[in-house]
Every structure is written in structure tokens, then in C-alpha cells.
Amino acid sequence: MIKTDALIIGAGPTGLFTAHQLKLIGLDCEIVDNLDKIGGQCIELYPDKPIYDIPAISECTGEELTNNLINQLKPFDVKFHLNERVEEVKNNNGRWEVKTNKGKSFNTPNIIIAGGVGSFEPRKFAPKDCEKFEDKSIFYSIKDKTIFKDKIVSIFGGGDSALDWAIELSKNSIINLIHRRDEFRAAQSTTDKMNELVKKKKINLYTKYQLKGVRGTENLESIDMENDNKEVKNLKTDFVLGFFGLIMQLGPIANWGLNLNKKTINVDTEKFETNQKGIYAVGDICNYPGKLKLILSGFHEGALAARACFKLARPNEKYRFEFTTTSKNLLKRLGKKE
Amino acid sequence: MVKIVYIEHDGKSHSIDVKSGLTVMEGAVQNNLPGIDADCGGSMACATCHVYVKEEWFNKLPKKEDGEEDMLDMAFEPNKFSRLSCQLTVTDELDGLIVQLPSKQA
């Protein structure tokens, strides 16, 4: 059980700056994020796209913004728990007990949800029957590639993940690569390599097809795929892999008794607190009259939520507002003064 | 105002007046139409505002820009009439445009 003054859910720009604000006022905090890297939507959706409306930064990319925020956290010791999703939140005597899908648990008076539009999850195949074989013969990510040795593997997708795995697994498996069109969005060099393997008959390429259905009772036996002209082709296969990128899902947050409004959480505009005492929501995921889904709004919301956390984390102390330009306390925390 | 017809997957039809200059996605979201999520808010980064454009309208639309087809790879059950509604700006020429919504966005 990890005890902390505040737990932040989400390592996007809002979560990162909220951590900065918490540490600056002398609270400790930990951050959990379901992605394997820091940066949230900025790093997952638009790392290379320039952003023009961050105050005082006329232009920066999602990746640059993330790196700047990480740099700003350097004076502080903030613990990140990546690749982990918060599953359960329970109240215990006025404190919150939080459990992740990896079995880690936290005990904290404050939870700040900076979850964007939810956690990133793999996009799945459309046919319903696919669920039956999920994690047995149908996968959306690969943990152990040895299970595919000498088997028939059908890979769907046209991006880097699909092509990289088709190339890699073609060494020891029979590979079908299926994509909905003739163009691939994977890197040119990867696409060239794949085409080379198609010529050498190491990869069987089917374009303009999509998965229509799966067959098999106990084990997956074959798949049906269909093209735009509704022609169906059946392929024998042992495994199916789908690489269609990530989608944002609200996920377990929906079960925590919060006052939801579509995919957002209603908060007040003083503390950015939800209907649950000690649970705050900031950034894209929060909702209040006039809410703007801008990164700069997330910074403001996080700064105020951090001050609200102080009250619950240090009930016997009084929070005093201070400036970084003049406060010895703050400068000390920033490592600028002995 | 331009009339846009949104047909839900179960056949329910909504005829909505959308201000010229808005996108087909915004027209749906501002009128609380179910079936268009638009998670990324219109930055062509999520493919959850996917629609099927009625065949007779498909070729009247401005061509897809770079990146839209890539995003459609990730959409739920795309077909040859698929577009991202955040990339369709409403103009007077599109009066009467019919788009069908997929059974779900993800």
C-alpha cells in the first residue's frame, strides 16, 4: 500500500502540471497512466502536430510540450506508474483506497482525475464472435511471440505495428496480412520490406478485405473476410492479430459514483471537486459552465485542485499563498536556494 | 442554414439545420445526436466521427486530405463511402446531404 497526499490519474499535460503545483506547495503525489509513456493525448495522438495556443509559447509540438512539462518537474521527485490503469476506488474512513489492474494499491485523501477522454485501449474487431477468442487466439498486442511459431497468423492493419509484426513473425510463422486498401500508412521503408517478403512468398497479402466473421467452436479454425464488392473469402488460421491503433474509453471511472455528463465529470469551479469529497477532475475530462477544452484551462484547473488537496492532506496546517519569485519555501523546493 | 440529414444505424432519421461553416460533426454534436462521439474534438486524430456518405453525395464532397484515409483505417467498419464528419465543412452546395451513422464508433 502506497500512501500519498494526492494521486493523479493521467500523465497528460494537465496531470503533469498538476503534479508540479502539488509538489510546489509541499505535497507529495504519484501519477498513474494506462499508456506506456508520459504525455497523454499530446504524445499518443499528435506528437508532431504544432500547437499554437499555449501561453508564452508561440509554437510547439505535442512532444515538445510534454518534454517541457517533464523538465519543469525535474526539481521534484514524482513517481510515475505507467502501463497501469486505476480499476477501483473505495472510501475508507474519509481516505480513498485505490487499486490498479496490476494489483498496486494506494491510500490517499485526494484523487485528481486528469484522464482526458478516458484511457487509451486498443480498437477491436467489429464481429461480435471475436470476443469469444480474445486473448486465446485473437490478440491486439503481443506479449509472447513464441506461441506463434510454426502457426498460421492472420494480421489485420496497415500501420507500423501491423507491418512490423508481419515482418518479424514471417521468420517462423505463415503470415496472412490483410488491409482494407492498397495504401499503407506504415513507414515507407517498412512497407518496402513487407512488399519484398510478399514477393518472396513469406507473407500472403490480401488488400481491400476486412474481417467479416470468425469460425471455430473450441479453438479458432478460420476467418471470413469480405471486400467492398461483398465477396467473402475464407482463410484457415490459428491466430488473428488486429492493429487498429488506440481509442479512448472512459473505462472504470464510470463506476466510481461520480456525477457524469456524457463522457465528462461535473465539477465545481472553486476546487474542481466532483460530487465525491476529495476526488477532483481537471483538464478535458471535467465539465462546468463555460468549460473550454484547451490545455491552458487544464493548467488553471490543476493549480486550483492542488490547493484544495492541501486542506485534506494537511488538515492541521493553513495553506499560505506564495509567489515563486519571492518565497524562500518555494525556491527551496525548486532547488534554487539552500 | 443548410439541411443535413443524419440517419442512425437503426434507420431513425434526423433532419438538422446546420450553420454554413460548421462541420457535419459539429452539426451532430451541437444537436446532441447519438452516434457521433468526436473524442478528439475535430483534430482528425481519433476516427470516432465516422459516417457513411450516401452514394449520390459522395463524389460531390471535397476530396479527402492527407491523413483522413489513414485515420479511416482505424474506424469501426469503414467502407468505400466512409468519411470523417469533422473534415466535412457545411456549405450551401451540401444542402440536403445525407450521412448514415455506423452501428458504433469503436
Contacts of A244 in chain B (CB under 8 A): 73-74
- pLDDT above 80: residue A211: yes
Q: Is-contact A185 A266, C-beta < 8 A?
A: no
Percent of chain B clearing pLDDT 90 (strictly above): 82
Contacts of B80 in chain A (CB under 8 A): 228
| C-alpha dist (Å) from residue A110 to A8, A329, B60 | 9, 23, 54
B44 reaches A (C-beta below 8 A): no
Q: Which among A45, A210, A228 has CB closest to B45?
A: A45
- pLDDT above 80: residue A323: yes
Strand (E) or helix (H) holding B27? helix B24-30
In which region does residue A57 sit, left (phi positive, over 0), alpha (psi from -120 to 50) or beta (all else)? Answer: beta
Q: Which pLDDT band, with edges at 50, 70 and 90, does B45 fall under?
A: confident
Q: Say what the pTM is.
A: 0.81
Q: Which among B41, B70, B106 has CB closest to A123?
A: B106
- pLDDT above 90: residue B102: yes
Strand (E) or helix (H) holding A303? helix A295-313
Task: Name all domains of chain A by residue range, CATH numbers in brackets.
Answer: 2-121+247-333 (3.50.50.60), 124-244 (3.50.50.60)
Average pLDDT over residues A304-329: 96
Q: Which among A244, A249, A263 has CB closest to B73?
A: A244
Q: Which pLDDT band, with edges at 50, 70 and 90, does A249 fall under?
A: confident
* Lowest mean pLDDT segment, chosen from A46-50, A87-91, A186-190: A46-50
What is the separation, in whole angstroms, between the first and last Cα of chain B? Answer: 31
Q: Inter-chain contact A263–B39, Cβ cutoff 8 Å? A: yes
Q: Inter-chain contact A179–B73, Cβ cutoff 8 Å? A: yes
Q: What are phi and psi of A210, to 5 degrees?
A: -130, 160
Percent of chain A clearing pLDDT 70 (strictly above): 100
B73 reaches A (C-beta below 8 A): yes
Percent of chain A clearing pLDDT 90 (strictly above): 90
pLDDT at residue number A46: 82
Average pLDDT over residues B28-45: 88
pLDDT at residue number A92: 93
| C-alpha dist (Å) from residue A208 to A75, A89, A163 | 52, 45, 16
Neighbours of A188 (CB within 10 A): 8
- pLDDT above 80: residue A78: yes
| pLDDT, tens digit (0-9, with 9 covering 90-100), for A79-100 | 999 999 999 999 999 999 999 9
Average pLDDT over residues A153-158: 97
Give the integer Cα–Cα distance in Å for A88 and A101: 9
Q: Is-contact A215 A127, C-beta < 8 A?
A: no
pLDDT at residue number A175: 98
What b/e sequence results for A290-318 when a residue is b if at least 16 CB atoms lie within 10 Å of its CB, and e otherwise?
ebebebebbbbbbbbbbbbbbebbeeeee
* Residue ranges of domains in chain B: 2-100
| pLDDT, tens digit (0-9, with 9 covering 90-100), for A96-140 | 999 999 999 999 999 999 999 888 889 999 999 999 999 999 999
pLDDT at residue number A121: 86
Average pLDDT over residues B25-45: 90
Question: What is the DSSP-derived secondary structure letter of residue A64?
Answer: H
- What grid cell was written down for B4? 443535413
- pLDDT above 90: residue B41: no
- Pairs of CB atoms within 8 A across A/B: 48
Architecture of domain B2-100: Roll (3.10)
CA of A185 vs chain B CAs: smallest distance (Å)? 6
Strand bridging mode A232-236 / A29-32: unpaired
pLDDT at residue number A319: 95
pLDDT at residue number A195: 97
Mutate to test the interface with A, among B9, B68, B74 (most CBs of A within 10 A): B74
Q: Inter-chain contact A126–B73, Cβ cutoff 8 Å? A: no
CA of B12 vs chain A CAs: smallest distance (Å)? 21
Which residues sit opposite A287 in a β-bridge? A266
Contacts of A47 in chain B (CB under 8 A): none
